[in-house]
Amino acid sequence: MSKKFRFNILPILLMVGMSLTLISTSIMPWLAARMDSSPPVVEVWYGSRQAFGQAGISQRWVNVLGNAADMQSKVARLDYRLNGRPAVELSLGPDERRLAHAGDFNVEIDPLELRPGDNEVRIEATNGAGMTTSRTVTVAYHPAAIPLPFHIDWAKVKNAQDVLQIVDGKWRWDSSGIRPVELGYDRFLTVGSLGWTNYQVTVPVTVHGFDESAFLQSTGGRHAGISVDLRWLGHSDVPRVCDQPTAAGTRSGISTSIFT
């Protein structure tokens, strides 16, 4: 006498489906690395030679900014060396804070580590296939005391970092002023000297538009705005410790919102 057996095939299909998903998830990076024949692309914003200090020491860091990308096996590691010293690993964006977009990086250097004159910053990216790309930036450090009054005439400015320091983000400038190319969290520019004490600041501002998504609840309560911060010392790990680069702001004065 024959017997009939019933099998519930749904759990088996689910198990097979989950196994295939796990296999495909784990094998895709391996395949991408095997098929990748191109090294990563490293873009350094503001040129291969950048000057700091000649327009005053306006905050506690020197920042070298840029973006690293690899369309196939992704960037697996990014680091920099200052004057041949041991490598320091860099974070890659986005991080919902200072590194606004995929692949953005911010080399944050303490000026005390720089020697007067030329310094070599070597940035190296490694992709999932083990291929590397490096870019060398000459950081010319000439700290100077900038007396008051201080005025920027944008019609005469060829390089923005001759008159200020770009702390975060990608900017463009012309005879009418300076503006961010890409919007993001806390796009900072610093002007002047940490040694200034009593002064008055006049900043003409034109609002060209804002990203409406900044007002959505999903952004964590952040908003669009413009402010002038007086006696701002630079980013730090106090009161909040973050991955590189530091993201907490250190103020010893006041912050005035122009638009929010």
| Amino acid 9: pLDDT | 52
For residue 162, report the phi and psi dihedrals to the nearest 5 degrees: -80, -20
Contact 256, 224 (CB under 8 A): no
User: What confidence tier does 8 reach under pLDDT thresholds 50, 70, 90?
Assistant: low
Candidates 163, 165, 260; CA nearest to 221 is 260
Residues 98/248, Cβ–Cβ less than 8 Å: no
- CA–CA separation, 174 and 142 (whole Å): 25
Domains of the chain and any CATH numbers? 41-259 (2.60.40.10)
Q: What is the pLDDT of residue 241?
A: 76
pLDDT surpassing 90 at residue 7: no
Q: Does residue 73 contact residue 33 with C-beta atoms inside 8 Å?
A: yes
The pLDDT confidence band at residue 21, using thresholds 50, 70 and 90, is low
Query: What would the mean pLDDT of 74-96 be, rounded to a whole number?
Result: 95
> Quick check: 242 pLDDT over 90?
no
The pLDDT of residue 2: 54
State the Cα–Cα distance between residues 173 and 185, nearest whole angstrom: 20
What pTM does this model have?
Answer: 0.82
Per-residue pLDDT of 173-230, as tens digits, reads 999 999 999 888 888 999 999 989 888 889 888 888 877 777 765 555 556 778 888 8
Q: Say if residue 116 is preceded by a cis peptide, omega within 30 of 0.
A: no
pLDDT at 32 over 60: no
Tokens of 150: 């201080």
Give the separation between CA 243 and CA 234, rounded to whole angstroms.
16
Q: Does pLDDT of 30 surpass 50?
A: no
Instruction: Please tell me the distance from the alpha carbon of residue 255 to that of residue 168, in angstroms, as a whole number.
Output: 18
Mean pLDDT of the region 108-123: 97
SS3 254: coil
Q: Which segment of 54-63, 166-175, 235-244, 245-254 scores lowest on mean pLDDT?
A: 245-254
Pairing type for strands 49-52 and 132-141 reads parallel
> What confidence score (pLDDT) does residue 107 get?
98
